[in-house]
Structure 1
Amino acid sequence: MFIHVFEEHSSVIHVLFSAHLISLNVVIAIRLQVPRLALRRRLSALKGGVSRPATWRHRPISFLCYILSVSALRPLASRVTLYRSFPTRLLSRAWGRLNGVELPTWLRKPIYSLYIWTFGVNMQEAAVEDLHHYRNLGEFFRRRLKPAVRPLCASSSDGRILHFGRVKNSEVEQVKGVTYSLENFLGPQNRRDSSSSSSFRDLLLLSPDSDLFHVVVYLAPGDYHCFHSPTDWKVDLRRHFPGSLMSVNPGVARWIKELFCLNERVVLTGQWQHGFFSLTAVGATNVGSIRIYFDQELQTNMPRYSKGSFHDRSYITNKVLKKGEAMGEFNLGSTIVLLFEAPKDFSFNLHPGQRIRVGEGLGSL
């Protein structure tokens, strides 16, 4: 009986980690580039020191290297197209279900300890440090923080700063040098005072003395997976975009233009003391769901939703969020995009690649 239970749960854990390794391998495959000249040099090096060329059937390792190198020379566009054809939504739903499989108590500590070691998780910040408390991987990913472990200031989530700055020409950078359309990202806006000559960026601004700013925060698998309100603000609208669930790893974001517009996401828009404010939770591979605590109707990554559409829910009484209030959570990791209006003299206290935690400041007025 003991052996049967061990084999059953070992297979489950193997599937869980295999799914994550598959996503990592996809990232590595997309980033792989072997210049033609380098390939020729490597093939020449394989022949060095041999007076008579050996046939390929006597050189299986060399033949394998040749095949891998030739496949790496395929155009980047072909590799991106191949990656985009992967059933990432189906795989992510399967991962979400596996996250809910309850682990036996004796197996929880070794599994979670391996994850903690792999991704550098700081369990001293967790509200519950006892690993036996978390019944499944989903609960462990969504662990809460101790009440006073972070100051209440500006950052909405743990993660790494990918990009930040002013929004120019209604385009936003997802990583350096790669942009996406603000209109495609947020969807159409209904403003009574809009004119045909107004840019999409101008439609969002409530004051001519303000400017529009953005911050992109990437959540790695080892980060805290809940996100909080970065300031006091009112949410007017929730907009859900069903879409792909490709990896949001910075390496992938460099190759796929408008990745954030293609992926499934939940956009919350409203106002704060300086005007327009928006927080968007962007889905990613193996993110089984995006949950918003005050919106029980929201269900993400569902088969009934088709790509290219969006679904709105208006909050008639305006949902008021307080600074530091828990807003929602991811399964595994993803990206948070903040877009906000502020006085033109607003300045960021950040640098690209910086690690940031919930509650840390983003800038100053």
Structure 2
Amino acid sequence: MTVKGLIAGLTQQEDLNFLLTNRIPRAAITRFMGWFSKIENPVICAASIALWRLFSDLDLSEAKKTEFRSLHDCFTRELKEGLRPFDPDPAIVASPSDAIIGAHGAIADTELFQIKGANYSLLDLLGLPELVETHRNGRFVTLRLTSSMYHRFHAPADIDIKRVTFIAGDVWNVNPIALKRVEKLFCKNERAVIETHLASGEALTLVPVAAILVASLRLHCIDRTLNAQTQGPTVFPCDVRSRKGDELGWFEHGSTIIVLTPDRFEFSDNVREGAAVKAGQPLLRKPR
């Protein structure tokens, strides 16, 4: 058995996986990772990326760069031009990122679920009563970014960004094993609530959720990097127009984005739990 196969076998054991990725000093390790990943040393960088490959299916063939200054530089890599075309149909809300599709469906009044039978509320997630009313009985899609994926995310449609609310919190792992064991996990972790409106007027909200080893979240619309040092909840008013496909920011590791739309949106045929999706591919459609 290869080293990668042995590691994969061990991490698939749920108790061990949960212990290794959650029952540790999560915040301290995340802060350390934020510092370590920015060390610009060619030996450290090469060794870190080689170790990363052992634990994942990291593929750098799509990266614009062929060499990286640091692990952080690799985490936040840009892709070669034209690799993530966004569906041009204005009725389509595209995936803002590369991801694995998790829980999705209709919001039951104000209740969503992280896995079947494990509900959480819009109010606990968003912390904004007026936004809860906006998305009551709407639709939601959970997008999970793994550590090896492209970590930048983009405007899923032509949008006007009106406000960002940063909510401080924990940094639990967001993998399926943790989602089964930690109640209301997304409502406990650090997250940003990005309020936007489509060109046609409907509300569309993106909620990037941090996780262990995610040292920070960069958002271009407020020209800020949000992390554990950011006090929360903190509101950042903004008035930024983004075209479909424009880069909105990046995670510094894998994490999750929850997409919220009104109830009249329908899921695209490719939206299935466990399916992989690329940035720019359809997620939801507004009926004509």
TM-score class, shorter-chain normalisation, is 0.7 to 0.9
Residue 89 of structure 1 pairs with residue 27 of structure 2: yes
Which residue of the partner structure matches residue 149 of structure 1? 83
Q: Which runs of 4+ in 1 moved over 3 A?
A: 24-32, 106-111
Which residue of the partner structure matches residue 278 of structure 1? 205
CA–CA separation in structure 1 for the residues paired with 2:12 and 2:275: 25
CA–CA separation in structure 2 for the residues paired with 1:27 and 1:247: 13
C-alpha displacement of 1:88: 1.7
CA–CA separation in structure 2 for the residues paired with 1:111 and 1:271: 40
Structure number having the greater strand percentage: 2
More contact order relative to length (CA 8 Å, sep ≥ 6): 2
C-alpha displacement of 1:111: 4.3
C-alpha displacement of 1:342: 5.0
Could you tell me which of 15, 29, 41 is aligned with 1:28? Answer: 15
C-alpha displacement of 1:301: 1.0
CA–CA separation in structure 1 for the residues paired with 2:26 and 2:50: 27
TM-score, length basis structure 1: 0.67
C-alpha displacement of 1:101: 1.1
- Letter of the structure 1 residue corresponding to residue 57 of structure 2: G
Q: Aligned pair in 2 of structure 1 residues 190, 298: CA closer, same or farther (>3 Å)?
A: farther
Could you tell me which of 188, 201, 204 is aligned with 2:134? Answer: 204
Q: How large is the Cα RMSD of the aligned pairs?
A: 2.6
CA–CA separation in structure 2 for the residues paired with 1:295 and 1:274: 22
CA–CA separation in structure 1 for the residues paired with 2:151 and 2:95: 13
TM-score, length basis structure 2: 0.84
CA–CA separation in structure 2 for the residues paired with 1:321 and 1:179: 32
C-alpha displacement of 1:27: 6.4
Q: Is contact 1:159–1:217 with CA below 8 Å preserved after alignment?
A: yes
Which residue of the partner structure matches residue 260 of structure 1? 186
Residue 121 of structure 1 pairs with residue 58 of structure 2: yes
CA–CA separation in structure 1 for the residues paired with 2:180 and 2:44: 38
C-alpha displacement of 1:324: 0.5
* Greater gyration radius: 1
Which residue of the partner structure matches residue 176 of structure 2? 250
Q: Is contact 1:211–1:343 with CA below 8 Å preserved after alignment?
A: no
Q: Is contact 1:157–1:357 with CA below 8 Å preserved after alignment?
A: yes
What is the 5 A alignment of 1:88-237?
A: 88-104=26-42, 108-109=45-46, 111-116=48-53, 118-128=55-65, 130=66, 133-153=67-87, 154-190=94-130, 200=132, 203-204=133-134, 212-237=138-163
Residues 241-276 of structure 1: per-residue CA shift (max 9 Å, x gap): 010011111110111111000000011012112511
Secondary structure (helix, strand or coil) at the match of 1:91 reads helix
Q: Is contact 1:172–1:181 with CA below 8 Å preserved after alignment?
A: yes
Among the aligned pairs, what percent are the same residue?
A: 26
CA–CA separation in structure 1 for the residues paired with 2:168 and 2:12: 25
CA–CA separation in structure 1 for the residues paired with 2:267 and 2:116: 19
- Letter of the structure 2 residue corresponding to residue 28 of structure 1: D
C-alpha displacement of 1:296: 2.4
CA–CA separation in structure 1 for the residues paired with 2:45 and 2:29: 24
Secondary structure (helix, strand or coil) at the match of 1:333 reads coil
CA–CA separation in structure 2 for the residues paired with 1:268 and 1:140: 25
Aligned residues: 267
Unmatched 5+ stretches in structure 2? 1-7, 88-93
What is the 5 A alignment of 1:211-360?
A: 212-272=138-198, 273=200, 275-302=202-229, 305=231, 309-315=232-238, 318-341=239-262, 343=264, 346-349=266-269, 350-360=271-281
Q: Is contact 1:27–1:247 with CA below 8 Å preserved after alignment?
A: no
Unmatched 5+ stretches in structure 1? 1-20, 33-81, 192-199
